[in-house]
Structure 1
């Protein structure tokens, strides 16, 4: 996860997770790229492997493997699930995150990396970005990303698109210690926004060490989403509250969930329920025990309904443990979430659960290369026209790297592969197409369906189109793109592809 040939700008913010010893407001971030690779936006790679996903399409956990991610804020925008994450850098030995990534999916297995959507270097008053959240305004039609400056205050950025980029909307904190009702909050961070059915927007936030008092707060926002409606923040009494506020609504009830302290728990996600989004909350139990592979550290979560089912997103340290990183590199995961007949949340097992792929991917339409189910060795960075960002691509591809795509629909079969590529290597490289999967991605290695040669284009931002013959039978298949060429050198970059 060091800078790769494909460019530079995507890397590193983190989430907010003080460790088991209490920590200061220094969330749980790490650095760029969980399974290998590096580059501006993050990298992948690494050796070893997680258990292969079933061939019939289930989410792999973690759902993002090419960059370390944390503090997932899941939202449904424009028919897709978007997840906004902190970004842990590979070399990070503390919570020093400085940017956010956004990922999206309409099948919950193949996740598209939209790159860095907000970077601390573009904000004049902050240098560390902990756990974010994003909401859409039905009044303005815009998207608002709420972000903390470590633990000292909360700002807001705005975009016309859920995929960003976001721009600081007011040039200063929206909430800080001078905000009435906030002065005694230990950590002013971990914002969670909520827009109710009547259009009223709320912001939940706060955190603090054990036994320091009631640190959970809520305040209403004006219709502009960038100013406060209430003269003072309201305290939410929450037993053993530590951080990671989140609010969702189910059957007319408001569910306030959060990460607990280590004093009386083991960093669980607990929740309260009320008939009012600001007051009257009563303790209801635990949603998610501390997940396996989290090394005793606490957690951060979000809950979302999509296509009639509910899911919880959280993070763990599975990739960090596998690839020999530290506790400061986290990765996001997904699990099903259900309610009983009384509206009580059925506790999610610490190991999570299996999430089935909701639909196949049309192979004859444009497929973004950065929309991955899994990978080894790759990085992601922006495609540029001059200095302008015009897209996102998979970059810094080396011999032996691969990308796995789950459940592509090839209809009656495919005979031709088209790809948008760039290569700054003198002899280029090649793309091997393996239908049915490949080692490390699926239980069986799959079949080689064709090889596409990529000549040097004169640079890793010098894009051109290539095509080659393939033999792919009809039906729905997993696909692996494996890259080959001169060992230990960056070979090519891949923007998108399609079949015919």
Structure 2
């Protein structure tokens, strides 16, 4: 469904053609009604009346001056990160333990859904991780504008793995099997085993192919693993796959060498093991958080050090408590040799510490580090251990060694640009204030992930997208798909929240359940890259997508 806001070129053309039709009809038949057939005359009069009503309806819509007056009193809500900062990558939900999968030109991030725990008065409690049974999914083609794909219902009675209580620390992989691309999502059932889910799409719906854990305490060599969790998956160049997991300290006297890291080869189907897991030997001061990457032919196993590293030992071993440490090998199953630290504890960079969880990934020839911090909860005025995901660049020295990564609020530079002439999902954003997102469509609502829409819109809420490349075209229209019983307005600004106004859209959906495409006139030339901000007034409506013509 589509309707125009303002007198569009197409409508002017219809008016002119209608007038010509009337003139032509009367020119041919004259004023003698007997010469003009009843049918022809009635058809022309009906078309003229319909277009005149359409024109009058559009003229009744608000003028630019009236729109300007509405937005004079609209104060944009405060964002949970400064405009221009790309960390954390998502602020509409918490997202911890990030894991990246690159597929079809996009980076998909899978994160533990730190669901806020509330007491009987609605006050937020300390995060004890027991309330986690969902996995957040977002994706990006440019690393700064992220599309929200919802939260996979992974565990519990309403999740895919109904036998599991929790879904911690996901890992994802994809592989072509029998001519079809399949996606695999691994996660920990608290600290007691590893589950696997499968899907035909990176965003789901995901299903449980086993009905039980892929790795449990009944798996050989795993009964003695203190924390049977935190999976990471390596897809090797020859098509083989390996899974890394484990952590924890069996006893205080084993803190220096817990012996709880494991690696196993995955079968070709990716949902069973090809042999028993083996111990990764001599993982110094292991705490948790398996990581694995192949860089320039070398296998790098990485992990978070525990909090038992003695101060007097730091110079000797080369790292401190709660840091991300690397080991290297020429074989995916080891043995691995200690390399050194690459990421300090988040407290070092941001003032709030805790466990340190990471994932390195390569995208378009550049390596990056995804890791979690507590900067989002700090911006929200919370201090309860809820985590959010950052991304920063990975660099190498002249000898090819990974250099110490710097945690920043700025984050990474945009890769490429956002195309405004293709339909953009409204849940794609680089920064926002005061909006929410929710599942859209039967499958997404049932499974938690998939199609999403922008909800919670109210006066002062807004969305910003970075690096929108208009090229050198003449932009004529802006279209947005909306639904709902409420009405409102969108102010479209360029480069800042109070920047140059490109236009206004009046949101008055025709249907409360189905999305109506509403088009408004822009009619101006815009050159090059610009950040675009959509500021809202009103409430009761939801957005599905937008694009410029």
User: Is the pair's TM-score, using the shorter chain for normalization, greater than 0.5?
Assistant: yes
**Alignment partner of 1:492 is 2:547:** no
**Alignment partner of 1:416 is 2:477:** yes
Measured on the aligned residues, the alpha-carbon RMSD in Å equals 2.0
CA distance in 2, matches of 1:311, 1:258: 16
Q: Which residue of 1 aligns with 2:334?
A: 279
Q: Displacement, 1:289?
A: 0.5
Cα distance 1:471–1:298, how it changes in 2: closer, same or farther (>3 A)? farther
Higher gyration radius (CA): 2
Gaps of 5+ in 1: 1-44, 54-58, 439-444
**Alignment partner of 1:392 is 2:462:** no
CA distance in 2, matches of 1:339, 1:240: 25
Q: Which residue of 2 aligns with 1:448?
A: 501
Q: Which residue of 2 aligns with 1:429?
A: 488
Structure having the higher helix fraction is 2
Secondary structure of the structure 1 residue equivalent to 2:515: strand
Q: Which residue of 2 aligns with 1:470?
A: 522
TM-score, structure 2 length as denominator? 0.76
TM-score, structure 1 length as denominator? 0.83
CA distance in 1, matches of 2:400, 2:99: 23
**Alignment partner of 1:97 is 2:156:** no
Structure having the higher strand fraction is 1
Kept after mapping to 1: 8 A contact 2:133/2:166: yes
Q: Deviations over 1:203-257 (max 9, x none)?
A: 1001114645211110111101111111343334311111110100011110001
Kept after mapping to 2: 8 A contact 1:201/1:222: yes
Q: Displacement, 1:315?
A: 0.8
Q: Deviations over 1:375-405 (max 9, x none)?
A: 1111111222597787211112111111000
CA distance in 2, matches of 1:415, 1:48: 30
Q: Displacement, 1:49?
A: 4.7
Cα distance 1:319–1:248, how it changes in 2: closer, same or farther (>3 A)? same
Kept after mapping to 1: 8 A contact 2:83/2:431: no
CA distance in 2, matches of 1:372, 1:236: 43
Secondary structure of the structure 2 residue equivalent to 1:319: helix
Kept after mapping to 1: 8 A contact 2:79/2:432: no
**Alignment partner of 1:405 is 2:457:** no
Q: Which residue of 2 aligns with 1:261?
A: 306
Kept after mapping to 1: 8 A contact 2:196/2:271: yes
Cα distance 1:167–1:388, how it changes in 2: closer, same or farther (>3 A)? closer
Gaps of 5+ in 2: 1-75, 118-124, 310-319
Q: Which residue of 2 aligns with 1:137?
A: 175
Kept after mapping to 1: 8 A contact 2:77/2:462: no
CA distance in 2, matches of 1:152, 1:249: 28
Cα distance 1:375–1:252, how it changes in 2: closer, same or farther (>3 A)? same
Please say which of residues 125-134 and 350-359 is displaced more in the overlay: 350-359
Secondary structure of the structure 2 residue equivalent to 1:320: helix
Secondary structure of the structure 2 residue equivalent to 1:407: strand
Q: Displacement, 1:327?
A: 3.3
Q: Displacement, 1:354?
A: 4.2
Kept after mapping to 2: 8 A contact 1:414/1:474: no
Q: Displacement, 1:63?
A: 1.1
Kept after mapping to 1: 8 A contact 2:80/2:91: no
Q: Deviations over 1:157-188 (max 9, x none)?
A: 00111122211121100101111011110111
Q: Which residue of 1 aligns with 2:36?
A: none
Q: Count the aligned residue pairs.
A: 438
- Which structure has the higher relative contact order (CA within 8 Å, separation 6+)? 1
Q: Displacement, 1:285?
A: 0.6
Q: Which residue of 2 aligns with 1:126?
A: 164
CA distance in 2, matches of 1:260, 1:341: 26
Kept after mapping to 1: 8 A contact 2:263/2:277: no
Q: Displacement, 1:90?
A: 3.3
CA distance in 2, matches of 1:311, 1:250: 12
